[in-house]
Amino acid sequence: MKEPRRLRLVNCAALAICSMLIFLVYATLFQSHDTVFDSWGYSLQNPSCNLSSERINIDAVDPQEFLLRRLVRGDDRVELDSNGFSCHTDIYSKVCVENKPVRIYNKGLTVYVPNDDHQPRVKRIVKPYARQQDETAMRVVSPVEVLHGNNTIDQPPACNFTHDVTAVVFSSRGFAGNVYHEFNEIVIPLFITTRHFRSRVKFVITDYQHWWVQKYNRVLSHLSAYDVINPDDGSVHCFPGAVIGLKFHGQLALNITDIPGGYSMFDFRQFLKESYNLKTNHVSEFRKPVLMLISRRNTRRFLNEDELVEMMEGLGFEVTRVEPERMSNLDEFAELVNSCSVMVGAHGAGLTNEIFLPNGALMVQVVPLACDWVATNLYGAPGKPMGLQYLEYKIEPEESSLFEKYGKDHPVITDPESVTSKGYFAYRTVYVEGQDLKINVQRLKKTLVEAKQILETSIPFNR
């Protein structure tokens, strides 16, 4: 007997609903950050999970080749699969990936990538620092010469050291010495490029600076299970594969859709929390509001800083005033920042330390004259993906030392565009390096009252 049409429709609908529920359960399970998927839908941690129609034999997949492959897409991946070598260039960075044995010598500045097909020798020059568009930064970054192809020409010397994990080559120079650039162009790109290797990489640092390695030792040791390699001794190091250069996604940014494993700023902050052993996850854990005031010593100084501290304490904040010297030991300073619920400072590199604030904390940026765009885009906008709240205090012309120096009717005050149109260095000389701040205490007080109200809305202080 044929099934009634209405019953068939009901059965089909039930089957569709069940299929959808099964799909949602599997999707929820597989989207965990503990499971890393290739763009094929193949799980490295759980080989039995294969979400694509293309079946992959786990025994046939080389783990290193698999992880390197995930760094490239499209034509770059096709080239890597075909030649074992691929380079991708964008406005900020150039990254070369090799999944064949390589030799790194000449103080880390020459990488030899042989090719079994005896293809013509191809030479590529990579400056492994994520600020390719900036001539000033790149001027101090040493070029790495990548030689790919015929291995009968200029045979490299024999290996002094043979390693069994992938090499990642990058420079520790550029604008290093400025904490913003250290995070923006080295630390975050290093996380983006290497986190999915799960510490199975060795860092080869060109333009090696011992102080930088010491400063970021906790980051380096949590991304790699091995000591970093300083190639300056001239030794020849051999690896089964290599990455030269670091991927870059924007100002203090991670693009979750373009990272192997889909890591986000949340994951990066969790990585920092674990690396620096930070105790506070959310500001709701504090019993009273603690405010960190970043004190500058050279430019964009608060000329009436003592008055500001008095006002802040009068509002009920416990104030921690920090000077540049206190920021030099990042291991200790990260913990101090993590113990605060509010950070206040004039536009400048010190605000980069917002990255260590607990979730829900608030950053108040004091914006000097003509610094609106850089303030918002370099420190304000990145705060939201970090789980932070943000307020700006834009000074009036009278609060800038430029007002007294040039007079109220000078173009520096009335028409900043007339200065910025002359180029970055003209702008920097006047507004970045030549300006200090005498804050209107009552005006700033209104902003800090708002900051406290925002915090108290969700945080039961005085519990």
SS3 assignment for the chain: CCCCHHHHHHHHHHHHHHHHHHHHHHHHHHCCCCCCECCCCEECCCCCCECCCCCCCHHHCCHHHHHHHCCCCHHHHHHHHHHCEEEEECCCCEEEEECCCEEEECCCCEEEEECCCCCCCEEEEECCCCCCCCHHHHCCCCCEEEEEECCCCCCCCCCCEECCCEEEEEECCCCCCCHHHHHHHHHHHHHHHHHHHCECEEEEEECCCHHHHHHCHHHHHHHECCCCECHHHCCCEEECCEEECCCCCCCCCCCHHHCCCCCCHHHHHHHHHHHCCCCCCEHHHCCCCEEEEECCCCCCCECCHHHHHHHHHHCCCEEEEECHHHHCCHHHHHHHHHCCCEEEEECCHHHHHHHHCCECCEEEEEECCCCHHHHHHHHHHHHHHHCCEEEEEECCHHHEHHHHHHCCCCHHHHCCHHHHCCCHHHHHHHHHCCCCECCCHHHHHHHHHHHHHHHHHHCCCCC
Asked, for residue 83, whether it belongs to a domain, the answer is yes
From CA 152, how far away is CA 289, in angstroms rounded?
68
Asked, for residue 87, whether it belongs to a domain, the answer is yes
Strand order across the 110-114 sheet: 122-126, 144-149, 110-114, 102-105, 237-239, 161-162
Two tokens, residue 360: 């829900």
Same domain for 216 and 327? no
Strand order across the 201-206 sheet: 85-89, 94-98, 242-244, 166-171, 201-206
Same domain for 164 and 21? no
Residue type, 407: G
Residue bearing tokens 């990642």: 168
Q: Residue 406: which residues within 8 A CB-CB, separation 6 or more? A: 412, 413
For the chain, what is the domain count? 3
Same domain for 24 and 114? no
* CATH of residue 420: 3.40.50
Same domain for 316 and 349? yes
What's phi and psi for 278, nearest 5 deg?
-80, 135
Same domain for 291 and 241? no
Asked, for residue 337, whether it belongs to a domain, the answer is yes
Asked, for residue 463, whether it belongs to a domain, the answer is no
Asked, for residue 393, whether it belongs to a domain, the answer is yes
Same domain for 450 and 393? yes
From CA 380, how far away is CA 431, in angstroms rounded?
19
Same domain for 244 and 326? no
pLDDT tens digits in sequence order for the chain, 463 residues long: 444 554 454 455 555 554 454 444 333 433 333 333 333 333 333 333 333 333 344 344 578 889 999 999 999 999 999 888 999 999 999 999 999 999 999 888 999 987 766 667 788 999 999 999 999 999 999 999 999 876 556 677 899 999 999 999 999 999 999 999 999 999 999 999 999 999 999 999 999 999 999 999 999 999 999 999 999 988 999 999 999 999 999 999 999 888 888 899 999 999 999 999 999 999 999 989 999 999 999 999 999 999 999 999 999 999 999 998 899 899 999 999 999 999 999 999 999 999 999 999 999 999 999 999 999 999 999 999 999 999 999 999 999 999 999 999 999 999 999 999 999 999 999 999 999 999 999 999 999 999 999 998 866 555 4
Same domain for 240 and 191? yes
pLDDT of residue 259: 85
Residue bearing tokens 């075909």: 82
Same domain for 391 and 260? no
Task: Among 222, 249, 275, identify where a domain stops.
Answer: 275
Task: Among 13, 32, 60, identify where a domain stops.
Answer: 60
User: With contact defined as beta carbons under 8 Å apart, do 111 and 244 qualify?
Assistant: yes
Same domain for 211 and 69? yes
Global pTM?
Answer: 0.85
User: With contact defined as beta carbons under 8 Å apart, do 367 and 381 qualify?
Assistant: no
Q: Residue 202: which residues within 8 A CB-CB, separation 6 or more? A: 163, 165, 166, 167, 168, 224, 226, 228, 229, 239
Residues spanned by the domain of 240:
63-275
Same domain for 452 and 347? yes
Q: Residue 208: which residues within 8 A CB-CB, separation 6 or more? A: 172, 230, 231, 232
Same domain for 230 and 372? no
Task: Among 259, 275, 291, identify where a domain stops.
Answer: 275
pLDDT of residue 398: 98
